[in-house]
Amino acid sequence: MVRPLVDSASPKMEKALEHFADELKSLRTGRASVAILDGVVVEYYGSVQPLKSIASVTAPDARSLAITPWDKGAMASVEKAIRENQALGLNPSNDGNVIRVSIPPMTEDRRRDVVKSLGGKVEDCRVRLRNIRHDILNDVKKMEKSKEATVDDVKFTEAELNKKIDQFQKRIDEMEAAKAKEIMEV
């Protein structure tokens, strides 16, 4: 009776891990990555839109990005949005057709700061996993109070969820180690 609840945890946890993986892509490493600009929003014709929806972004080499707006009238707005995003710390240049962004090499201090922010993202993911476990356990405990589940069902659910959490924690640790290595690589 509680098996469907336990089984429902895996897809939710998988989704939390996918979100974590997406967040890792946005962390800046020593190389240019189009994911760095994922959070940039541009004011365009009076509305705020993500950069992806008004321009194509490519990484022609390891140290630069090229942004090509589909409407040349958006060049100044795109340039301004990138320049004003303090978290990025990038300075775009415009040649009339393409906006080029040179990715400066990261200092040792900046790399350490990025690794610290990686730790925050790891903890956020772990909290999401614990919240999923907590919600399912609460559902089973409610079932126990209404006599739809037994004490053994609660113990079984807790044990199974803990096993799942451990599996996902290992995957998070592996992803964190790989990203930290990539960030600290010069």
The string of pLDDT tens digits covering residues 137-147 is 999 999 999 99
Strand segments (E) across the chain: 41-44, 47-50, 55-61, 64-69, 92-94, 99-102
Dihedral angle sign, alpha carbons of residues 84, 89, 93, 99:
negative
Closest to 121 (Cα-Cα) out of 53, 185, 183, 32: 183
pTM of the model: 0.74
Residues 33-64: tens digit of each pLDDT: 788 888 888 888 888 888 888 999 998 888 88
In three-state secondary structure terms, 109 is helix
Residue range 108-116: mean pLDDT, rounded: 85
User: Residue 113 and residue 62: Cα distance in Å, rounded?
Assistant: 21
Fold of 34-102: Gyrase A; domain 2 (3.30.1360)
Over residues 62-80, the pLDDT tens digits come to 888 999 998 888 888 888 8
Sole residue written with tokens 């365009």: 44
Per-domain residue ranges of the chain: 3-26+107-184, 34-102
CATH code of the region 3-26+107-184: 1.10.132.20
